[in-house]
């Protein structure tokens, strides 16, 4: 867990707690650091042991309460960002149940903070999954109805429901398929996996078809948007908001883009009975103002050069 | 949205179409509403307009239409790239099971969309082109276009080229795959032939409104010539192989005649009346043939590398199972 506090001469007025320092959490922490002078602490949080997690959350709560009390005269604000995602798209019921319990514990912490600090602004930001909630739907727009099909999607829907029912200010960001820079030990998304396996001459197995359409968003774009939403408190027209690119991309197109960047063929194998082959695309009309998704081809080049420069191309990532 | 539904996207490159766009969208709306009324599992999902550095008020008109119709989408290219790149860009933004490409000026009337789709589904085709019964009033333009296609078709050995037309109904997965590999100088329809040979043409009574009203065409003679050049360089040219055949024949003939001449020289030297001429001709034929064969081999290598660089696939997988949803429902559509 990453804890960021606004640095300054006076008392900290803004505290941001990021739960889940993965692809999005870490990128958001970096983006927040670019936008404002923030002190960064890494706070331990155990995801596997409930008792230890409870103790750690209690310690965090007292730290946040202390910060709120110290800054009582400076309109203090605490933003909690839930970007944890141990359970991936293909997770089973056991993993999602475990993750839901952790989410409920953090949400309860936020509710207590809000109740105990009436003068403070406590905002809970939830990273949800548009790809999961609208799986198999095309040109998803504001009329689309969420129809989760797998435990992961049900988890996201339940998290949204719990947050909506909680007496706390909240924001929900539904993301399409996320890709981002390669970091050792982190999940990095399909595009970076294809890129790395291409560099290593390894075969990537695709649980879809060559023509399967997805909407890919860059973690850095999301992080930049989240940072502005947290720091500037930008007005969001719809609640929850969908952060997608608005341009569908087939696996075949991704393959061609990656091959042109790395200058060699990449090896793919496809499932004969793919479980995840239905197209999921989003209408640009559903995207919020102020959201500026960047170009996929340029981002693949950025990821490639960054992976080579940092040596991450030669480390072992999680999918 | 129902998963068991077939979705149709349209792609229209826009360069100088402000005068036609409102009517075009109104006609598309008629098609869309007609499909909804018929309660068949087919929906006009989106109409994508690609503003190709539009030189008139098209952008303003498109902004107005986007605000009015939720299914109208606009993609703005950073400059004028031409009709083919604009079409490719639009296709890459589409997500329909079928993608129709049509011009901005109603020459490709939306009422023909369903007949084109019906032909594609009935014939299990991947691409159906509109075959204009009479397009342009200009005799010269009609004839030159036909003649050029016939010539190139013969030259590159691809009979499908005669069917090529910018009004087409494409299977979405194949259209997007071809669009993803098409290089700046690729002719999109030639690239489509890398992915499928299930192409058909449907005769339709297309009307060139621009030539009737003497309005300037979006794409002038120079762009049509660029079109022609692009078609030629996207294709592998058969005469190369003819060159290899001629070279091999010259080489083989020179070797046979050399043996004959050598035998004559050794056994019947008195029969050789002019000395030196035969040897000179044989050496010329031998090296001429050898050079021709080597050049063709080098050109074949280059051609292979070029098509590989352009992204010609080793294979491509297609799923045509959704066609069954429309097969009986669309039936035979009257193109008129």
Torsions phi, psi of A193, nearest 5? -60, -45
Parallel, antiparallel, or unpaired for β A177-179 and B98-101? unpaired
Q: What is the mean pLDDT of residues A94-123?
A: 90
| Nearest-CA distance B181 → chain A (Å) | 7
Written as six digits, the tokens of A174 are 């539904």
Q: Is the pLDDT of residue B215 over 70?
A: no
Task: Determine which helix (DSSP H) or strand (DSSP E) holds B42, and give its type and residue range.
Answer: strand B42-51
Instruction: Identify all chain B residues contacting A252, using CB atoms and an 8 Å cutoff.
Output: 176-177, 180, 316
Residues 150-189 of A with CB under 8 A from B: none
Chain centroid to CA A17: 14
What is the C-alpha to C-alpha distance for residues B315 and B308, in angstroms, rounded to an integer? 12
Q: Is the pLDDT of residue A298 over 80?
A: yes
Q: What is the mean pLDDT of residues A275-283?
A: 87
Parallel, antiparallel, or unpaired for β A213-214 and A249-250? antiparallel
| Nearest-CA distance A135 → chain B (Å) | 10
Lowest mean pLDDT among A79-88, A254-263, B236-245, B292-301: B236-245
Q: How far is CA B112 from CA A52, A63, A313, B69, B201, in A?
A: 67, 68, 51, 21, 13
- B92 and A247: CB-CB below 8 Å? yes
- pTM recorded for the entire structure: 0.83
Q: What is the pLDDT of residue B179?
A: 95
Instruction: Identify all chain B residues contacting A139, using CB atoms and an 8 Å cutoff.
Output: 7, 45-46, 71, 95
Q: What is the pLDDT of residue A12?
A: 57
Helix runs in chain A, H state only: 23-35, 50-70, 93-116, 130-133, 151-165, 190-199, 219-231, 251-262, 296-310
Task: For residue A138, give the nearest of B7, B180, B319 by CB distance.
Answer: B7
| Nearest-CA distance B244 → chain A (Å) | 31
B330: helix, coil or strand? helix
Q: If you measure CA to CA, which chain B residue comes closest to A249?
A: B92
Lowest mean pLDDT among A233-247, B195-209, B239-253: A233-247
What is the C-alpha to C-alpha distance for residues A259 and A191, in angstroms, rounded to an integer? 12
Q: What is the mean pLDDT of residues A188-194?
A: 89
What average pLDDT does the structure give for chain B? Answer: 86
Task: Write out pLDDT tens, residues A199-210.
Answer: 888 899 988 889
Lowest mean pLDDT among A28-37, A107-116, B12-21: A28-37
> How open is the CA angle B75-B79-B80, to the nearest 5 degrees?
95
Instruction: Identify all chain B residues contacting A270, using CB atoms and an 8 Å cutoff.
Output: 317
B321: helix, coil or strand? coil
Pair B154, B136: CB distance under 8 Å = no
Label residue A41 by pLDDT band (50, 70, 90): confident
Pair B10, B101: CB distance under 8 Å = yes
Instruction: Identify all chain A residues contacting B1, using CB atoms and an 8 Å cutoff.
Output: 137-138, 144
Task: For residue B180, give the nearest of A138, A139, A253 by CB distance.
Answer: A253
Label residue B67 by pLDDT band (50, 70, 90): very high
How many C-beta atoms lie closer than 10 Å to residue A30's C-beta?
A: 17
What is the C-alpha to C-alpha distance for residues A55 and A60, in angstroms, rounded to an integer? 9
Written as six digits, the tokens of A226 are 């989240």
Angle between helices B83-92 and B172-181 (to 10 degrees): 120
- Domains parsed from chain A with CATH numbers: 2-181+217-245+281-293 (3.40.50.720)
- B180 and A248: CB-CB below 8 Å? no
Lowest mean pLDDT among A236-245, A283-292, B45-54: A236-245
Q: How far is CA B334 from CA B115, B128, B297, in A?
A: 7, 15, 51
Written as six digits, the tokens of B233 are 């360089």
> Which one is predicted more confidently, B168 or A201?
B168
Q: What is the pLDDT of residue B213?
A: 63
Lowest mean pLDDT among A61-65, A268-272, B287-291: A268-272
Q: What is the mean pLDDT of residues B290-297?
A: 90
Residue appearing with tokens 């192409």: B199
Residue appearing with tokens 């998803």: A140
Chain centroid to CA A148: 18
Q: Is the pLDDT of residue A4 over 70?
A: yes
What is the C-alpha to C-alpha distance for residues A289 and A295, in angstroms, rounded to an integer? 17
Q: What is the mean pLDDT of residues B217-229?
A: 67
Q: What percent of chain B has pLDDT over 90?
A: 49
Looking at the complex, does the CB of residue A108 fall below 8 Å from at least one CB of chain B?
no
What is the C-alpha to C-alpha distance for residues A175 and A177, in angstroms, rounded to an integer? 7
What average pLDDT does the structure give for chain A? Answer: 88
Q: What is the pLDDT of residue A235?
A: 65
Q: Is the complex ipTM higher than 0.90?
A: no
Task: For residue A248, give the nearest of B1, B3, B95 by CB distance.
Answer: B95
Q: Is the pLDDT of residue A11 over 80?
A: no
Instruction: Identify all chain B residues contacting A249, using CB atoms and an 8 Å cutoff.
Output: 92
The candidate with the shortest Cα–Cα distance to A171, out of A247, A109, A225, is A225
Q: If you measure CA to CA, which chain A residue comes closest to B315?
A: A210
Task: Write out pLDDT tens, residues B12-44.
Answer: 999 999 999 999 999 999 999 999 898 789 999
Written as six digits, the tokens of B109 are 């009337």
Q: Judging by beta carbons within 10 Å of its beta carbon (0-12, 13-18, 19+), is residue A120 exposed, middle or buried?
A: buried
With residues binned 3-state (H G I as helix, E B as strand, rest as coil), the percentages for chain A, rounded to 5, are: 40, 20, 40
Q: What is the pLDDT of residue B1?
A: 45
| Nearest-CA distance A6 → chain B (Å) | 40
- B316 and A138: CB-CB below 8 Å? no
Q: What percent of chain A has pLDDT over 70?
A: 93
What is the C-alpha to C-alpha distance for residues A176 and A168, in angstroms, rounded to an integer? 26
Q: Is the pLDDT of residue B255 over 50?
A: yes
Q: What is the mean pLDDT of residues B223-227?
A: 71
Q: What is the pLDDT of residue B42?
A: 94
Q: What is the pLDDT of residue B2?
A: 45
């Amino acid at each position: 867990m990453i804890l960021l506090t606004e640095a300054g001469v006076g008392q900290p007025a803004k505290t941001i707690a990021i739960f889940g320092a993965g692809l999005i959490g870490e990128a958001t922490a970096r983006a927040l650091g670019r936008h404002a002078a923030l002190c960064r602490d890494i706070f331990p949080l155990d995801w596997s042991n409930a008792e230890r997690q409870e103790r750690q959350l209690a310690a965090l709560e007292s730290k946040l309460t202390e910060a709120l009390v110290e800054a009582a005269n400076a309109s203090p604000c605490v933003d909690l960002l839930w970007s944890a995602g141990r359970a991936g798209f293909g997770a089973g019921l056991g993993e999602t149940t475990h993750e839901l319990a952790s989410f409920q514990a953090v949400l309860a912490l936020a509710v207590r903070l809000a109740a105990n600090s009436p003068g403070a602004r406590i905002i809970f930001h939830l990273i949800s999954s548009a790809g999961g909630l609208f799986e198999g739907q095309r040109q998803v727009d504001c009329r689309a109805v969420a129809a989760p099909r797998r435990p992961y999607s049900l988890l996201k829907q339940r998290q949204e429901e719990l947050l909506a029912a909680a007496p706390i200010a909240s924001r929900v960001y539904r993301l399409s398929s996320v890709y981002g820079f390669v970091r050792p030990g982190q999940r990095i998304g399909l595009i970076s996996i294809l890129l790395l396996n291409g560099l290593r001459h390894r075969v990537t197995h695709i649980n879809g078809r060559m023509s399967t359409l997805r909407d890919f968003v860059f973690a850095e774009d999301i992080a930049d948007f989240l940072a502005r939403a947290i720091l500037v408190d930008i007005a969001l027209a719809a609640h929850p908001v969908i952060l997608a690119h608005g341009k569908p991309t087939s696996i075949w197109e991704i393959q061609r883009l990656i091959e042109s960047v790395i200058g060699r063929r990449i090896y793919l194998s496809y499932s004969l009975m793919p479980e995840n082959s239905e197209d999921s695309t989003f209408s640009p009309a559903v995207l919020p103002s102020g959201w500026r998704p960047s170009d996929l081809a340029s981002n693949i080049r950025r990821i490639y050069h960054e992976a080579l420069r940092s040596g991450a191309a030669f480390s072992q990532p999680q999918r | 949205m129902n998963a068991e539904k077939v979705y149709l996207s349209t792609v229209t490159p826009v360069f100088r179409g402000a005068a036609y766009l409102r009517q075009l969208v109104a006609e598309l709306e008629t098609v869309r509403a007609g499909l909804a009324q018929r309660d068949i599992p087919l929906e006009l999902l989106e109409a994508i307009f690609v503003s190709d550095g539009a030189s008139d008020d098209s952008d303003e008109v498109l902004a107005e239409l986007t605000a009015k119709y939720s299914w109208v989408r606009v993609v703005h290219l950073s400059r004028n790239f031409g009709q083919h790149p604009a079409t490719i860009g639009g296709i890459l933004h589409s997500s329909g099971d079928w993608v129709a490409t049509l011009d901005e000026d109603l020459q490709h009337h939306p009422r023909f969309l369903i007949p084109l789709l019906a032909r594609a589904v009935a014939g299990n085709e991947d691409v159906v082109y509109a075959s204009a019964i009479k397009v342009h009033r200009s005799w010269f333009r009609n004839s030159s276009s036909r003649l050029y296609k016939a010539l190139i078709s013969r030259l590159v050995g691809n009979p499908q080229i005669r069917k090529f037309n910018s009004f087409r109904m494409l299977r979405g997965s194949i259209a997007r795959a071809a669009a993803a590999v098409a290089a700046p100088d690729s002719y999109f329809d030639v690239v489509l032939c890398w992915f499928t040979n299930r192409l058909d043409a449907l005769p339709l009574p297309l009307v060139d409104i621009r030539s009737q009203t003497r309005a300037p065409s979006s794409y002038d003679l120079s762009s049509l010539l660029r079109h022609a050049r692009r078609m030629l360089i996207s294709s592998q040219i058969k005469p190369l192989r003819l060159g290899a055949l001629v070279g091999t024949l010259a080489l083989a003939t020179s070797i046979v005649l050399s043996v004959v001449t050598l035998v004559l020289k050794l056994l019947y030297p008195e029969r050789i009346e002019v000395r030196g001429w035969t040897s000179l001709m044989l050496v010329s034929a031998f090296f001429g043939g050898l050079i021709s064969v080597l050049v063709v081999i080098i050109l074949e290598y280059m051609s292979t590398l070029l098509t590989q660089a352009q992204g010609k696939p080793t294979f491509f997988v297609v799923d045509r199972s959704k066609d069954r949803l429309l097969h009986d429902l669309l039936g035979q559509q009257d193109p008129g």
